[in-house]
């Protein structure tokens, strides 16, 4: 399969370089879309795992072998070890999500560690596609050579209807579907490692089958485990290899924990981008401005509005030719004015090999005011977060830095 498309598209990379260089030529900040050949990358190189230090974890995109009903496209997986007291379990295929906060694990996977008695607090973790209902429990979280210095609140998602757990109240389900399942997540859990600590979530206290909204102190909320590591606790760097514009079967990258704490996590040569209190910045392209934009490894598409481009009833953008949008500028809503200029590619997903899981350049319909730069944006880049409240030489959290 790899050789098939390399043979087919090996002639095109020069034109891609030209494309990337010409988008900004319109003057006075005008942005253009241009069509042309598909960028290529070496899928064998993309699939090769990097050499890791103790503060680095493998972050890989590949088909989840436990899921047969769909391709686990652009779901970056990491292995997490969770301990309840001295009882520990290594849990693979946890999805890395820089757009949420805290570790959420399926009860069906985590149950050997306990977590089966009725909790003090329940949480309805909300996402645009559905909710994850479960209990809040304390656990030690270890990723690669890093571990939380004490147990922290995590959510154990009640995917197997544990008798001791109360089912979700109507105010949680509220017309939505549960995505707190293996198929809903695409993995055994979700690791929220965005640029804040607590999730500010939707909590409940339940008695019998009756649940009421609970205001939970920040320290008791499900929280980003990275912030509780001993030393490398101020942020992280996600690095993914470049993949072909026609996708690659798999891609292997890394998460490096800590910023400016070791030789492998400096932000020298990165471009920084301050974030507002919502974790957002302003993205501008094609004459449009989106002031609540964000970067999110947990979005498997880029979700954004692309003026003039066709999309289907499921929201997939389907350009007739490979299209580059350039420049795309990121400017902060608050803090230092430093901005970032980048570009986006868009390809019709229906021309891709449907078994390939590492797919850049796919986009789906977004919303007014908000552009979501998802996992497709991560390939070929190093993307760092600095957690709110932390200060590094290059700036103050919350911020992103890109290289």
Partner 1 sequence: MQSPFPGKILLAGATFALCCATPLYAALGGPASAILNSGQVVTAPGHQLAQLPQGVQAQTVVTSQNVTITEFSRGGTVFAIRWDGPIIPDQSQLLGSYFPEYAAGMQARNPKGRNAPVQIRSQSLVAHVQGHMRAFSGSAYAPALVPAGLSVSTLGVEP
Residue 339 makes contact with partner 1 by CB under 8 A: no
HEC readout, the chain = CHHHHHHHHCCCHHHHHHHHHHHHHHCCCCCEEEEECCCCCCHHHHHCCCCCCCCEEEEEECCCCCCCCCCCCCCEEEEEEEEECCEEEEEEEEEEECCCEEEEEEHHHHHHHCCCCCCCCEEEEEECCEEEEEEEEEEEEEECCEEECCCEEEEEECCCCCCCCCCCCHHHHCCCCECCCHHHHCCCEEEEECCCCECCCEEEEEECCEEEEECCCHHHCCECHHHHECCCCCEEEEEECCCCCCCECCEEEEEEECCCCCCCCCCCCCEEEECCCCCCEEEEECCEEEEEEEECCCCCCEEECCCCCCECCCCEECCCCEEEEEEEEEECCCCCCCCEEEEEEECCHHHCCCCCCECCCCEEECECCECEECHHHHECCEEEEECCCCEECCEECCEEEEC
CB of 171 to partner 1, least distance (A): 4
**Nearest CA-CA partner of 89 in 100, 80, 101, 98:** 80
Residue 166 makes contact with partner 1 by CB under 8 A: no
Q: Which two tokens stand for residue 274?
A: 């301050």
Stretch that binds partner 1, among 40-48, 318-326, 336-344, 364-372 (CB under 8 A): 364-372
Choosing from 20, 202, 220, 339, the residue that interacts with partner 1 (CB under 8 A) is: 202
CA distance 386 to 203: 26
CB of 122 to partner 1, least distance (A): 14
Residue 69 makes contact with partner 1 by CB under 8 A: no
Residue 148 makes contact with partner 1 by CB under 8 A: no
Contact (CB, 8 A) for 180 and 132: yes
Q: Cβ closer to partner 1: 30 or 367?
A: 367
User: In angstroms, what CA-CA distances link 19 with 12, 312, 360?
Assistant: 11, 26, 17
CB of 99 to partner 1, least distance (A): 5
Q: Cβ closer to partner 1: 23 or 102?
A: 102
Q: Cβ closer to partner 1: 141 or 144?
A: 141
Residue 194 makes contact with partner 1 by CB under 8 A: yes
Q: 248-307: which residues touch partner 1 (CB under 8 A)?
A: 278-280, 292, 294, 296, 298-301, 303
Residue 219 makes contact with partner 1 by CB under 8 A: no
Residue 378 makes contact with partner 1 by CB under 8 A: no
Choosing from 175, 208, 217, 308, the residue that interacts with partner 1 (CB under 8 A) is: 175
Choosing from 61, 103, 125, 246, the residue that interacts with partner 1 (CB under 8 A) is: 125
Q: Scan for tokens 């998602």, then name that residue.
A: 157
CB of 280 to partner 1, least distance (A): 6
Residue 365 makes contact with partner 1 by CB under 8 A: yes
Residue 226 makes contact with partner 1 by CB under 8 A: no
Residue 373 makes contact with partner 1 by CB under 8 A: no
Residue 119 makes contact with partner 1 by CB under 8 A: no
CB of 27 to partner 1, least distance (A): 30
Q: Cβ closer to partner 1: 199 or 394?
A: 199
CB of 21 to partner 1, least distance (A): 31
Residue 48 makes contact with partner 1 by CB under 8 A: no
Q: Cβ closer to partner 1: 236 or 305?
A: 305
Q: Cβ closer to partner 1: 89 or 318?
A: 318
Residues that bind partner 1 (CB under 8 A): 74, 97, 99-101, 125-130, 170-171, 174-177, 179, 185, 192, 194, 196, 199-202, 213, 215, 278-280, 292, 294, 296, 298-301, 303, 314-316, 364-370, 372, 374
């Amino acid at each position: 399969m790899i050789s098939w498309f390399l043979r087919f598209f090996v002639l095109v990379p020069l034109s891609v370089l030209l494309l990337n260089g010409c988008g900004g030529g319109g003057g006075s900040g005008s942005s253009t879309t241009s069509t042309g050949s598909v960028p290529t990358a070496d899928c064998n190189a993309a699939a090769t795992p990097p050499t890791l230090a103790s503060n680095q974890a493998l972050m890989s995109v590949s088909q989840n072998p436990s899921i047969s009903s769909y391709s686990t496209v652009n779901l970056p997986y990491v292995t997490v070890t969770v301990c309840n007291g001295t009882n520990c379990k290594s849990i693979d295929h946890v999805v890395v999500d820089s757009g949420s906060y805290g570790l959420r694990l399926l009860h069906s996977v985590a149950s050997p560690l306990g977590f089966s008695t009725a909790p003090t607090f329940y949480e309805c973790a909300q996402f645009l596609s559905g909710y994850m209902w479960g209990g809040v429990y304390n656990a030690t979280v270890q990723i690669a050579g890093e571990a939380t210095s004490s147990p922290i609140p995590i959510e154990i998602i009640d995917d197997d209807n544990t008798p001791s757990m109360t089912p979700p109240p109507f105010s949680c389900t509220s017309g939505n579907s549960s995505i707190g399942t293996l198929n809903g997540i695409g993995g055994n859990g979700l690791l929220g490692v965005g640029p804040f600590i607590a999730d500010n979530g939707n909590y409940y206290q339940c008695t019998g089958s009756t649940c009421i909204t609970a205001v939970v102190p920040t320290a008791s909320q499900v929280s980003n485990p990275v912030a509780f590591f001993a030393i490398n606790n101020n942020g992280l760097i996600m690095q993914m290899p470049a993949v072909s514009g026609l996708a690659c079967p798999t891609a292997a990258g890394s998460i490096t924990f800590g910023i400016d704490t070791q030789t492998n996590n400096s932000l020298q040569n990165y471009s920084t981008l301050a974030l507002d209190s919502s974790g957002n910045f302003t993205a501008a392209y094609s004459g449009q401005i989106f002031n609540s934009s964000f970067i999110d490894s947990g979005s498997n598409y880029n979700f954004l509005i692309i003026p003039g481009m066709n999309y289907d009833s499921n929201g997939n953008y389907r350009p007739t030719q490979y299209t580059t949008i350039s420049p795309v500028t990121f400017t902060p809503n608050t803090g230092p004015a430093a901005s970032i200029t980048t570009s986006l590619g868009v390809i019709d997903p229906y021309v891709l090999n449907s078994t390939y899981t590492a797919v850049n350049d796919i986009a789906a319909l977004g919303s007014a005011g908000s552009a979501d730069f998802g996992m497709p944006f991560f390939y070929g880049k190093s993307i760092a977060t600095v957690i709110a409240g932390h200060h590094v030489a290059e700036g103050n959290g919350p911020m992103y830095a890109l290289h």
